[in-house]
Amino acid sequence: MTLRSFIRHETFLAILLVLALFVLSWQSDRFFTVANLLNQGRLMTETGLIAIAMTFVIATGGIDLSVGSILGLTAILTGVFWKNLGVPLPAAAVAAIAVGTFAGYVNGLIITRFRVPALIATLATLALYRGLAEGVSQARSVRGYPDWFYVLGQGEVLGVPTQLWILLIAAVVAAVILAYTRWGRTTYAIGSNEVAARFSGLSVEGTKLALYTMSGFAAAVAAVIFVSRVSTTRSDMGSGIELDAITAVVLGGTSIFGGRGTVLGTVLGLCLIQALKNGLSLAGVKGDGTIMLIGIVLILAVLASAIFERSGTR
Amino acid sequence: MSADTPFVTLSGVSKAFAGVKVLKDVSFDVRAGEVHALLGENGAGKSTLIKILSGLYTPDGGTITVDGRQMKLTSPRDATAAGIATVYQELLLFPELSVAENIFLGHYPRTSSGAIDWSAVRSRARDLLDQLDTRELDVDTKVLTLSVAQRQRVEIAKALSRDAKILIMDEPTASLVEADVQRLMGIVRQLRERGVGIVYVSHRLPEIFALADRVTVLRDGAHVATRDIGEVDERQLVSLMVGRPIDSLFPKVEAAIGDTVLQVDGLNRGRQVRDISFSLRKGEILGIAGLVGSGRTELALTLFGMTPATSGTVVLDGKPVAIRSPRQARDLGIAYVPEDRGLQGLVKPMAIRKNISMATIDRLSSGIFIRAAQEARRATEAVKRLGVRCRSIGQPVGELSGGNQQKVVIAKWLETSPKVLILDEPTRGVDVGAKAEIHTIMGELVRQGVAILMISSELPEVLGMSDRVLVMAGGRIMEELSREEATPERVGAAMTAHKEAA
């Protein structure tokens, strides 16, 4: 895990991204336009926020499958708090985000206190939180939000979609934390060798608890942005988004076994996937074809990175 | 074939990985019915040589002759067919299968209809184990329930089941307790009587003098010497290995012993730490001897807060403390260099720099940011002070040899400026040169006033380094001996006293 192998994977991804952008803009003249690219940024913000938090979780060797359900639960609660309970919308959104964050905290508790593997714990809460969301919503959607609320998901600040600013800030802050702070260092240490981290006096449980809580928070913020973007609230929102986020993280070079990964890689992975999805659909490729291509790109990227790494360490 | 004709001969064998020569023109042979010890520091090329003999690596140059015929061993299967079997340090058995299944895996006896002849499997496995004086082991037991020593005997039985003429044993006693070591040595002698040639790799010189007929020393991938064991003494062997004379195996430094730093009274935790009381003074090395499972490591883990005590008092520098976590132990000035370097001590893929700063990362941070320049400077100093041999402080720790890895773990804990340093097996799996260096470091530390609690399975180390010795058995301290009182006989008797009483 030298600096060189880090740069390699990210450089490789960046080249792949440029290549994809080039080919796709040649395929359709509607693709490489400022308006379209900004709009794609808007569309990838929710997955992006979740993927950034997921980068930390996966770098510790864990995983959080429940983020999609937390998103759904938070979205529903925002609507229900506001419409059914009459709470002012900003307070409703904050309260819902608090619940989503708490849901993440519960994941962390189950994983650290009861030593349940993260995969199983969050698989269980994936079902649990989604069930709660559906129970609360009673299969009814909430609509008719005030206009100011749509600024978040449909508005612009300085010509750039509002939520893209949020994603950008989150990415920069997260990248700095992971690379330059003791929390980042602890994250990598846990992912590489949890036992040694504990034997070194690092706060393993505390760090994990904080990371799953952050993951819940990211999903909850994504939920509010999602609601604002699509103008409605439904209980099935965000289902499957955990897989999109994990794909971006793994494509970005984060090792699923932990100990390795960067936020920059995740962001590049995210952009590459979004570019492929949008560009291919503009080029007239059917949805199934796009999904298949993303799968192939993922496998190739992981293989390439494994080959780089092997030649690097010998 | 006369007794002196080698069964296997390697001549002029070389091997390189990615351009780095790890074995240069090495010649080595094994005769039937001899124990040929293979010695060398870590990185000297012993494992590469063994892997060539067992068919895992194909040499770049040189020839291999087995039983008079030149052959190519291109796979472990070839080696097995040629009568060469290997018992690796990390035993390669299938834990979920039974003893008998493991022994005959891959060459089960068949009935005339071609089905596996299970009754033959079981009876022949029984036979093989009986030949190894392992009558107590049931052939139907799953391997996962066996002790390391028992698994090793299963591995040996497996080798014999394939009619091995040559048996390679890689550090067979590294993780055995003394009684099992004796038993293993008995088995090795018995195999030699039966005409099996044994390649015996070990760091432990006393074993080599007790067992070997000949000894070959490798250094930096080159063959240094092959001698009959009668022609050399311990000192000569060590200087052959290291390439320079070593003054003393245990350089005991006389440090001024000061006030009591740590006072432990009636400490309890589970079945392995029972009513432990002792004191430790500044500048003192207190050795803890005991068999594996005597509660030595458990005591260390309790003092370090990994498994907090359930009762008893610990007084550190005159103040009573309750240690609940390693973090707290660290802040109080207690450091623990753990027994299992790879699992507990190091984050192997991480850089040396990051491993050295791991226990002090809070102190190296201003606000939340790590002060990278200071971290690098401290790591550079530590690497220099402890003599860690590495390309740079950015090199992953996993690439270092065992001794240098151990120095990194020690460096990590010295960064915390501990008052009490607990060393658990500080020189296990460390070559002779690095071992002497670690002992020298210990001497410097006590001179600076650090109090050291040293746990070791190696009796000469305990007796050679300690000012006082505690002997543990069954989770209790059986005896406390001064340096003068601590003779191998007395310590040995106290170590096993518990078992005899029980």
* pLDDT tens-digit series, residues A254-286: 888 889 899 999 999 999 999 988 888 888 888
Which chain A positions have a beta carbon within 8 Å of B364's beta carbon?
182
pLDDT of residue A302: 77
pLDDT of residue B249: 63
Which chain B positions have a beta carbon within 8 Å of A202's beta carbon?
327, 358, 361
What confidence tens digit (pLDDT) does each residue in B93-112 have? 898 999 999 999 888 888 88
Which chain B positions have a beta carbon within 8 Å of A181's beta carbon?
365, 368-370
**Angle, nearest 10°, between helix axes A287-313 and A263-282?**
150
Could you give the angle at the alpha carbon of A16 between the alpha carbons of A14 and A22, nearest 5°?
Answer: 105
What residues of chain B, 347 to 406, have a C-beta less than 8 Å from chain A?
A: 347-351, 354, 358-359, 361-362, 364-365, 368-370, 372, 394, 396
pLDDT of residue B245: 64
Band the pLDDT of B247: cuts 50, 70, 90. Answer: low
Q: What are phi and psi of B419, to 5 degrees?
A: -85, -40
Cβ count within 10 A of residue B427:
24
On the CB side of A231, how many CA atoms lie within 13 Å of its CA?
Answer: 6
- Separation between Cα atoms, residue A62 and residue A50, nearest integer Å: 14
pLDDT of residue B248: 57
This model of the complex carries an ipTM of 0.86
Instruction: Say if A196 is an interface residue toward chain B (CB within 8 Å).
Output: yes
Instruction: Say if A7 is an interface residue toward chain B (CB within 8 Å).
Output: no
Query: Which residues, other chains included, contact A51 with Cβ-Cβ below 8 Å and sequence gap of 6+?
Result: A244, A245, A246, A248, A249, A252, A266, A269, A270
**A·B CB contacts under 8 A:** 81
Q: Check B396 against A1: CB less than 8 A apart.
A: yes
Query: Which residues, other chains included, contact B17 with Cβ-Cβ below 8 Å and sequence gap of 6+?
Result: A314
Quick one: average pLDDT of B84-91?
83
Closest to B343 (Cβ–Cβ): which among A177, A195, A260?
Answer: A195
- Beta-bridged to residue B71, according to DSSP, are B64
Quick one: average pLDDT of B138-149?
88
Residue with tokens 């036979």: B127
Q: Check B327 against A196: CB less than 8 A apart.
A: no
End-to-end CA distance of chain B: 52
- The backbone region for A238, taken as left when phi is positive above 0, alpha when psi lies in -120 to 50, beta otherwise, is left
- Separation between Cα atoms, residue B26 and residue A141, nearest integer Å: 78
Q: Check B361 against A182: CB less than 8 A apart.
A: yes
**CA-nearest residue of chain B to A188?**
B350
**CA-nearest residue of chain A to B411?**
A200
**CA-nearest residue of chain A to B304?**
A199
Percent of chain B with pLDDT over 90: 53
Considering the entire predicted model, what is its pTM?
Answer: 0.78
**Residue B470 Cα to chain centre, angstroms:** 22
pLDDT of residue A147: 87
Band the pLDDT of A2: cuts 50, 70, 90. Answer: very low
What confidence tens digit (pLDDT) does each residue in A130-177 have? 999 999 988 788 888 888 888 888 888 898 899 999 999 999 999 999
A139-143: long-range contacts (C-beta < 8 A, 24 or more apart)?
A139/A235, A141/A79, A141/A232, A141/A233, A141/A234, A142/A76, A142/A79, A142/A80, A142/A82, A142/A83, A142/A232, A142/A233, A143/A231, A143/A232, A143/A233
- Separation between Cα atoms, residue A58 and residue A46, nearest integer Å: 18
Give the helix, strand, coil percentages of chain B, each rounded to 5. 35, 25, 35
Instruction: Say if B409 is an interface residue toward chain A (CB within 8 Å).
Output: no
How far apart are the CA of A206 and the nearest CA of chain B, in angstroms?
12
pLDDT of residue A312: 40
- Separation between Cα atoms, residue A234 and residue A102, nearest integer Å: 21
How far apart are the CA of A205 and the nearest CA of chain B, in angstroms?
12
- Separation between Cα atoms, residue B351 and residue B328, nearest integer Å: 25
What residues of chain A, 136 to 195, have a C-beta less than 8 Å from chain B?
A: 177, 180-183, 185-186, 188-189, 192-193, 195
Quick one: average pLDDT of A294-308?
79
Residue A269 Cα distances to A137, A248, B496, angstroms: 34, 5, 61
**CA-nearest residue of chain B to A189?**
B347
Structural domains in chain A, CATH included, are: 30-268+291-305 (1.10.3470)
End-to-end CA distance of chain A: 12
Tokens of B340: 């299992």
